[in-house]
Amino acid sequence: MSAAKIDKERFEIRDLKPTIGTALYTTMEELLSGNIAEQIRGLLQKRIVVVFPKLNPTDGQQTVVAGTIGTVQYDGADAILKITIELNANGTIPPDIFAPTRYWHIDNATSGLPAMAGILTARRVSSVGGQTEFANLYAAYEALPDADKQLVAGLRAVHSFETFQRCAKPDPTVAELTFWQSMKPRALPMVWTHGDGRKSLFIGSTASHVEGMEPEEGRMLLCRLQEWATQDQFIYRHEWTVGDMLIWNNTGAMHRAIPYPQDSGRLMSRSGIAGEEVFD
């Protein structure tokens, strides 16, 4: 752990792990004003995860903060998505939809414009499990042996909503499978070369196979890269305290929720910040 002060007038930061995760301490007023939005964007690029311990924004304040950092994504009509797996607790959204989030993934992987960032605030936490883990896919790529960098350079993996949903439910109904397949699979490069020239891996549980490879060979490559990218030095696990707000760079990270009981009461307010880089 190292302590650092960038602008003590406005905020202080402390790195949580050497390659990923920074805690940022500031006032609600500074965040809402957008005065430090550029610094937060910079931290998301370098540190992937920025935690605001016990900031406890209201949903409205969280939406304002999201809007200072980028363009707020609207899931349906609301800027805030309530994440809970309790039965009948989230309006028309069936809790099943969140079941695969226990597996490593990139949000909106098949959209062609993955979310730039996500924001979570813990409203209620689980006493067992429920942590969120993030894996730095920039650092994982940069640390790959040269032979693997060359191997993945021109390869595309096929990602789909169906593949992701099947992780949690291998025996869907026809209605479920019809819904899953309404979102088309997409073959995406396994390396994302970003606008600034930096590269990150693009993998996760949305990927089923690698184009041009024997199925087993492709699945082994995906498995090997995921095992590589989720080594301890590349990941940050957040232990939630009520009121913690956390922003992560969705274009350079996979994330997952550690399983927790359905009746744990865990409730998160989630915002999305729209993608700014086309990826296809």
CB of 146 to Fe ion, least distance (A): 31
CB of 101 to Fe ion, least distance (A): 5
The helix (run of H) or strand (run of E) holding residue 246 is strand 245-249
Which region, judged by CB under 5 A, interacts with Fe ion, from 104-112, 120-128, 217-225, 259-267?
104-112
* Per-residue contact flags (x/-) with Fe ion for residues 247 to 266, judged by CB under 5 A: --------------------
Q: Which residues face 105 on adjacent strands?
A: 255
Binder to Fe ion among 107, 133, 162, 244 (CB under 5 A)? Answer: 107
- Nearer residue to Fe ion within complex by CB, 115 or 221: 115
- Nearer residue to Fe ion within complex by CB, 144 or 268: 268
| Interatomic CA distance for residues 123 and 264, integer angstroms | 12
- Nearer residue to Fe ion within complex by CB, 152 or 235: 235
Q: Which residue has the tokens 């490559």?
A: 221
CB of 206 to Fe ion, least distance (A): 10
The bridge status of strand 267-273 relative to strand 117-124 is: antiparallel
Which region, judged by CB under 5 A, interacts with Fe ion, from 43-51, 56-64, 101-109, 172-180?
101-109
Q: Which residues of 30-40 are buried (b: 16+ CB within 10 A; e: fewer)?
A: bbeeeebbebb
Residue type, 62: Q
- Nearer residue to Fe ion within complex by CB, 107 or 244: 107
- Nearer residue to Fe ion within complex by CB, 69 or 83: 83
Return all residues near 212 (Cβ < 8 A) that are at least 6 apart. 155, 156
> For helices 37-47 and 59-69, what crossing angle results, to 10°?
80
CB of 133 to Fe ion, least distance (A): 11
- Nearer residue to Fe ion within complex by CB, 26 or 62: 62
Contact between residue 138 and residue 259 where contact means Cβ atoms under 8 Å apart: no
> For helices 174-181 and 161-168, what crossing angle results, to 10°?
140
CB of 118 to Fe ion, least distance (A): 7
Residue type, 256: R
CB of 232 to Fe ion, least distance (A): 21
Which region, judged by CB under 5 A, interacts with Fe ion, from 21-29, 100-108, 119-127, 170-178?
100-108
The reply to whether 133 sits near Fe ion by the rule CB under 5 A is: no
Which region, judged by CB under 5 A, interacts with Fe ion, from 59-67, 102-110, 128-136, 238-246?
102-110
CB of 105 to Fe ion, least distance (A): 6
* Residue 132: closest CA among 10, 25, 239, 32: 239
Residue 216 token pair? 């087993």
Size of the site for Fe ion (CB under 5 A): 1
Please give the full DSSP string across 248-262, using - where no structure is assigned. EETTSEEEEEPP--T
CB of 53 to Fe ion, least distance (A): 21
* Positions that interact with Fe ion (CB under 5 A): 107
